[in-house]
Chains A and B, each alone.
Chain A
């Protein structure tokens, strides 16, 4: 276990330092903060609602994450494969799980920090009226889990391809499907072709469905299990793909 955690920590710190020294990471964070706040005010009508709540902010997060999380994760493995440093990593006496977990946790840390930078919006709304702080905190917790789920999907896509662009497109496509499955429009369209129980099952597996409770300030065990399961499944796939590279690294 000592080797696992030493390796994990070394790679986690390296990834975070790489992000900290990369100007694109700052552009990325600034884009997320501005886009999320802009959507909340311009599209969600945060002021027009006349209520001291952040529903207008949280309701757009899944869609923002569908685009931004694949962008954040796309270079995680594909860039290592492209530059050849993957071979350096694979030659280290390190369990594959430590490599996968370290890269994921570093990206997730950045995503949660990004979310943390939107908290002035929470404080601002609190100045205007009584805010349910517990519900808002719950929504932030759900947002972190949601970001983690999208990131894990992005990590798997990045491990599956040497091309950052292809990794992005795959992650975007899978994330979009996992989100859109919960839209009433998609459910009703699918219901025309598929049996109702199957349609309902697909809708219940959507990111939107799992996030809905958190948006309302409700912590549901089912939703937590869902997000953790998406992360576990995606990271297991990532590990399999990384190990698969040992079978044919060229």
Chain B
């Protein structure tokens, strides 16, 4: 179980997140949606252990992220926003480095690198320098980094950002393939992605969770079943300002 309890973060003069709580069970793929600046990335960072909350707690499969950070992080694969990568490395050396830092033995690493490369379809560029790769490949290299050690929990910030429609299709299929028995939390702007991939949707706006239901139930709030209409209604006030 991934359990968030009253997560709160404030930045000096800037909106953070306020008392966000939810639970995700193994096998669930949760779409974490909201407008820009709503607090999605802040929340994901607090789960991944790269940003300390002011209040609240996160538990990953029974491990508290902030009192037992390394044990909790060992259970997670994390794709950060903008998919930062070491430009001077090749995807192979990058993935090998991440696995090595996680304590995976030299003998096991080549197999795990190949597996992650196959899953994310980057096998053809494994030995090219990352700085020369297209945005789509770079995003997939970062995704391969998140799932290389086959973690039971995946935290993915905009996994299909910058991918073309075919690559998006492959990535969504991969997430569905990985979902049995895993906890997957995806931050995204793309509501169609939530419909295609997620079993549950959590909407965050202005730092607060506003909805937590299945994508179908969420869309059903509009008489025509338009998910983007419901999103608009819940995130924009009648005067046009963000809620």
Contacts and interface: CB of A to CB of B under 8 A. Distances in A.
Interface of A: 2-3, 6-7, 9-11, 13-14, 17-18, 21-22, 83-85, 87-88, 90-95, 246-250
A249 B84 contact: no
**Would you list the 10 A-B pairs with minimal beta carbon distance, nearest first?**
A84-B84, A10-B100, A93-B73, A93-B74, A10-B101, A90-B50, A6-B103, A93-B70, A91-B78, A87-B80
Contact of B101 (A11, A21, A83): A11
9 contacts: A6-B103, A11-B101, A83-B84, A83-B87, A91-B78, A92-B98, A93-B102, A246-B51, A246-B52
B100 A88 contact: no
B52 to A, nearest CB: 5
B88 A18 contact: yes
Given A6-B101, A83-B84, A88 B145 contact: yes
Interface residue tally of chain B, by bracket? Answer: 20 to 34
Contacts of A3: 70, 103
Interface of chain A, helix or strand or loop or mixed?
helix
A19 to B, nearest CB: 10
A7 B86 contact: no
A21 B103 CA distance: 25
Contacts of A88: 80, 84-85, 98, 145
B194 to A, nearest CB: 24
A92 B84 CA distance: 14
Interface string B120-153: 0000000000000000000000000100000000
A182 B73 CA distance: 47
B49 A2 contact: no
Contacts of A2: 103
B45 interface: yes
Contacts of B73: 91-93
B71 interface: yes
Interface in B62-117: 69-74, 76, 78, 80, 82, 84-89, 93, 97-98, 100-103
Given A83-B87, A91-B50, 14 more contacts: A2-B103, A6-B100, A10-B97, A11-B101, A83-B84, A85-B84, A85-B86, A87-B50, A87-B84, A88-B84, A88-B98, A91-B78, A92-B73, A93-B102
A21 B70 contact: no
